[in-house]
Amino acid sequence: MFDLDLRSRDPIYQQLVDKFKTLIINNVLETDEKLPSVRTLAQQLTINPNTIQKAYRELEAQGYIYSVKGKGSFVAPIVDVEKKVSLKEIESDLKKILQEAMFLGLTKQEILAMIDEIEQQLGRGNDS
């Protein structure tokens, strides 16, 4: 389910957060689906349970999952209003990043190539 890169500069918990976000965004994990327990996932990935717990806390803080005491963690429903607010924030951040990247010399073609690469990674192709 997860390919963690132990040589990556990104901390393991952040890699987990990113993987879960990708699975949730692509509807691989559906609304209200139960996530593996901290202990189970830690055993499967052979990493410290505290790392899993930290990733789950971060995902919950960002609104991707919710916890039910004694039951576990579940994928949170994405409300359209919240989604629109998040998209506006992302759009604003992306514009700033793109402006800086272009100022530093990144070309439009290079940016479009990155977008194509991301679409391929998400399995969406570039037919949009």
Task: Please give the chain's pLDDT, 128 residues, in tens.
Answer: 678 888 889 899 999 999 999 898 888 899 999 999 999 999 999 999 999 999 999 999 888 999 999 999 999 987 654 666 677 888 889 999 999 999 999 999 999 999 999 888 887 655 54
Give the pLDDT score at 62: 86
pTM (2 decimals)? 0.66
CA distance 37 to 6: 22
125 forms beta bridges with: none
Contacts of 53 (CB under 8 A, 6+ apart): 38
> What was the pLDDT predicted at 81?
45
Euclidean distance between CA atoms 47 and 52, whole angstroms: 8
d(Cα 128, Cα 114) in Å, to the nearest integer? 15
pLDDT of 7: 86
